Chains A and B, each alone.
Chain A
C-alpha cells in the first residue's frame, strides 16, 4: 500500500552527495527518483530506489545517516489535471500534505507524498480507488 523512501542526512558541501551515490552504484541499486530539501548547512536527500531496504543497509554500513520512511506513491495518467484530481481527493478529506514530488515511470505519472495522517490517507486511497505502488513494483524495474 506504500513504498519506502530513504531519507539521508547530507551536509551542504561538495563531495557529500557523491559518497552516497557511490555506495548505491557499488551495490547496483537503481535510483528511480530523488529530491533534496535543504537548508544553508545541510540537506535531507530523499530517495526512491529499486531495493530500498537493501540500499538502506548498504548505506548504513558505509556510515551514512539514513532512515527509511513510508510514503504513498500514487499512479496517475500522464495527462493535464490528473494531479489536481488526486490532490483534491486528499484535501477534501482534510488531509494536509507534508511534502510531495513526482516523476514519470513507464508512461505513468507517480506522485510521492507524505502526510501527517497516514491512517486516514490509507482509507481515502482505498475508498477512492486510486492506484498506489508498493516496494515490489519498484524492484520489478530492474
Chain B
C-alpha cells in the first residue's frame, strides 16, 4: 500500500516534471524571437509608424543636401519645379526623379559626389556600361554606416565576437572585400582577409585556425567544397558554421548543396556599390527574404517600363534612395534588379521590410564570378580593334562551379594577312584582345576567334549573350 502510494507520488512528480518541460518548450517556442540576436533593435525592430516618420525626416534632409551640393540633382529638381521643402514625408518620394546608371556615367568621375573631396576617405569603383567605371566616394560617416549595416547583417546570421570570420570576396575596387571586412571588425569578431584565389592555402587556414564564418560568392563556396574533396579534407575536419553568400544570383538548390558540403548555414547578402556595398539587405535565420536596412536605404519596386510604383508583393525593378549617405547620395536609383518586397514583421522579430530573391535583370547586365559585366563593355573593346568585325557574342557557362566567360569575335577579312599563316600569329592576336578585355572587365575572358560572317547578326541586346548557367 505504502509502496503503491509512494509509486503514485513518484508518478505525479514525474507528471509535473513533464508538464514543466512542456511549459519550457512552449515558452521558448512562443517567445522564440527573444532567442535571435539583433545588433540594433531600435532600428531593426522599429514600429512601422516610427520608421516612416524617420524615413520622411531623413528624405527631406537628403533632398535638401543634394539640392545644395549636387548641381545634377538641383537642375533635375528645378526642372520638375520641386523645392526641398516640398518633400516632408516618405510618400513625397513619388515626386522625385529617378537616377540611372547612365546618369552616373554621364557625370563621371565626381559629378554626383555631394561631399567635398577633403571629406572623402574611401573610393570604390564598379563596372560601368561602357568605358568608364562608376566611382563611389565614402565619407567617414558613410564607412561607419556601412560597418553598422554589415554588423546588423552578421548578427542576424548569428555571428558574434567569438567567431573567426574569413572574407573571401575580392579586396580592392570591388566593395565586397572591404565592406564585409569592416563589418566583421565592427562586431569584434576576428577577420581573416583571405581575398580571392589561393584556395588551398585558404582551406588550410579554415581547418587549422578553426575558422567559423565565411563570406564569398556562392559559386566560390562550391569551389571550396570541391577543392576540399580534392585535398581529402572532410567537413568534420573544419568548423565553418555560417556563410555570407552574395554578389551573384544563386538558387535554393545551391544553398542546400553548399550547406551540406561545407557543414554550415548559408545566408544571402545583397548590396550594390552605387547604393553602399554589401549589407544593403541580409537574410536572418528564418532564411525567408532579406531584411533591408531601410532607415538608410529606402526601397521601392517599380514597373521598369512605365516607371509606375508597384504594390508590395509584386515583382518589379528595385529602386533605392540613400537616406543618410554623404559621399555620393542617390535619389531613386534604379538597380535594374527584379524582385518583390515582403512587408510584415518577421518571425525573427525584425520589422524591416524584406526583399525576395533577385529574379532577373531589367537590363542586359551579367554577373560573372561576382563581377558585373555589361555586353556593351565587350563591344567597346571589340570596336577599338580594327582586326575584328564589329560583331561579338558572350558565352557564359558554369564549369565545376566556376563561371566562365568566352568572347567570340570574327576576324576581319581585310586584316587577315600573310603573317597569319601560323597558329602562333593568330594566338598573339587572341591574347591582345584577351588582355584588353581583362583590363576593362576585371575578369579573364577566353577569346574565341571565328571566321568572317559566322556570328549571327544581333537582333536586340540579348542576342549578344548566351548564358548556359542554369540559375
Measured CB to CB, the residues of A under 8 A from B are 5, 7, 9-11, 16, 37-39, 41-44, 46, 60, 63-70, 98-99, 114
B416 touches A69 (CB 8 A): no
Q: Which B residues are in CB contact (< 8 Å) with A42?
A: 423, 426, 449
Given A9-B451, A11-B450, A69-B418, decide whether A63 and B413 contact each other with a Cβ distance below 8 A: yes
A65 touches B411 (CB 8 A): yes
Q: Which A residues are in CB contact (< 8 Å) with B253?
A: none
A37 touches B418 (CB 8 A): no
Least Cβ distance of B36 to chain A in Å? 53
Does chain A have a CB within 8 A of B400? no
A9 touches B418 (CB 8 A): no
A39 touches B418 (CB 8 A): no
Interface centre among B411, B423, B451, B453 (most CB of A within 10 A): B451
Given A7-B418, A41-B449, decide whether A60 and B413 contact each other with a Cβ distance below 8 A: yes
Majority DSSP secondary structure for residues of B touching A: mixed
A65 touches B416 (CB 8 A): yes
Q: How far is the CA of A9 from the CA of B413 in the complex (A)?
A: 10
Q: Which A residues are in CB contact (< 8 Å) with B78?
A: none
A37 touches B420 (CB 8 A): no
Please encode chain B, from 413 to 449, with 1 for each CB lying within 8 Å of some chain A CB and 0 for all others: 1001111111100110000000000000000000011
Q: Which of B413, B420, B452 contacts A7 (CB under 8 A)? A: B420
Q: Which A residues are in CB contact (< 8 Å) with B453?
A: 63
Q: Which B residues are in CB contact (< 8 Å) with A37?
A: 422-423
Least Cβ distance of A35 to chain B in Å? 11
Q: How far is the CA of A106 from the CA of B422 in the complex (A)?
A: 28
Q: Which A residues are in CB contact (< 8 Å) with B416?
A: 9, 65-67
Q: Count how many pairs of residues, one from A and one from B, have CB atoms less than 8 Å apart in the complex.
A: 63
Least Cβ distance of A103 to chain B in Å? 17
Q: How far is the CA of A29 from the CA of B448 in the complex (A)?
A: 31
Query: Can you name 14 A-B pairs with beta carbons within 8 Å?
Result: A7-B418, A9-B411, A9-B426, A11-B450, A11-B451, A42-B423, A44-B421, A63-B413, A64-B451, A65-B416, A67-B418, A67-B421, A69-B421, A99-B422
Majority DSSP secondary structure for residues of A touching B: strand
Least Cβ distance of B139 to chain A in Å? 50
Interface centre among B418, B449, B450, B452 (most CB of A within 10 A): B418
Q: How far is the CA of A4 from the CA of B420 in the complex (A)?
A: 14
Q: Which A residues are in CB contact (< 8 Å) with B454?
A: 11
Q: How far is the CA of A89 from the CA of B176 in the complex (A)?
A: 63
A70 touches B423 (CB 8 A): no
Given A39-B423, A44-B426, decide whether A68 and B418 contact each other with a Cβ distance below 8 A: yes
Closest to B427 in A: A39
Measured CB to CB, the residues of B under 8 A from A are 411, 413, 416-423, 426-427, 448-454
B449 touches A5 (CB 8 A): no
A46 touches B450 (CB 8 A): no
Q: Which A residues are in CB contact (< 8 Å) with B449?
A: 9, 41-42
Closest to A36 in B: B423
Q: Which B residues are in CB contact (< 8 Å) with A7?
A: 418, 420-421
10 new A-B contacts at CB < 8 Å, known A37-B423, A39-B423:
A11-B454, A37-B422, A42-B426, A44-B422, A60-B413, A63-B413, A64-B413, A65-B420, A67-B419, A68-B418
Q: How far is the CA of A65 from the CA of B449 in the complex (A)?
A: 11
Closest to B449 in A: A42
Closest to B421 in A: A7
Closest to B415 in A: A65
Given A41-B448, A41-B449, decide whether A67 and B417 contact each other with a Cβ distance below 8 A: yes
Q: Which B residues are in CB contact (< 8 Å) with A41?
A: 448-449
Q: Which B residues are in CB contact (< 8 Å) with A65?
A: 411, 413, 416, 420, 451-452
Closest to A5 in B: B421
Q: How far is the CA of A68 from the CA of B419 in the complex (A)?
A: 9
Least Cβ distance of B410 to chain A in Å? 9
Q: Which A residues are in CB contact (< 8 Å) with B411?
A: 9, 65
Q: How far is the CA of A47 from the CA of B427 in the complex (A)?
A: 20
B451 touches A98 (CB 8 A): no
Q: Which of B417, B423, B426, B451 contacts A16 (CB under 8 A)? A: B451
Q: Which A residues are in CB contact (< 8 Å) with B420?
A: 7, 9, 44, 65, 67
A114 touches B421 (CB 8 A): yes
Q: Which A residues are in CB contact (< 8 Å) with B418?
A: 7, 67-70
Q: Which A residues are in CB contact (< 8 Å) with B452?
A: 63-65
Q: How far is the CA of A66 from the CA of B427 in the complex (A)?
A: 17
Q: How far is the CA of A104 from the CA of B448 in the complex (A)?
A: 36
Q: How far is the CA of A16 from the CA of B421 in the complex (A)?
A: 17
